[in-house]
Amino acid sequence: MRIARALVVLVAVSVLAGCSGLAPYPTYPRIAGLGEEATALRVAICYNTLVSTLEEVQVAAQQECPSDTTASPLDTDWHLQYCPLLLPARATFVCAAKK
């Protein structure tokens, strides 16, 4: 009986820990391409397209930008150089001055 109870607790803790493991988080943004402003502040967010909504990604990007700017989406890639396999998408945003 103790083994069954310990197994249930272990599974519950694993599930709860796994939920937070898929939350969007900041990473290195991609470099500016040709014709893009290289001096603009960029932020990037790793996320899972099946778990995270675009609104959650936008909020995470806005938290990384200075308070007097707005995070504007620029690009999304799936190259896995900066994001792990469980969070394969990297959204890059530009922190643009509020109007």
64-78: pLDDT as tens digits:
999 999 999 999 999
What is the reported pTM? 0.75
Whether the CB-CB separation of 90 and 44 falls below 8 Å is answered with: yes
Q: How far apart are CA 64 and CA 73, in angstroms?
A: 13
Q: What is the pLDDT of residue 45?
A: 97
* 33 has pLDDT over 90: no
With bands split at pLDDT 50, 70 and 90, how would you rate the model's confidence at 17? very low
Q: How far apart are CA 79 and CA 81, in angstroms?
A: 6
Whether the CB-CB separation of 72 and 96 falls below 8 Å is answered with: yes
Summarised one tens digit per residue, pLDDT across range 43-60 is 999 999 999 999 999 999
Q: How far apart are CA 66 and CA 84, in angstroms?
A: 26
Question: What residue type is assigned to position 86 of the chain?
Answer: L
Looking at per-residue pLDDT, the higher value among 21 and 19 belongs to 21
Q: Which of 2-16, 21-35, 55-69, 72-86 has the lowest mean pLDDT?
A: 2-16
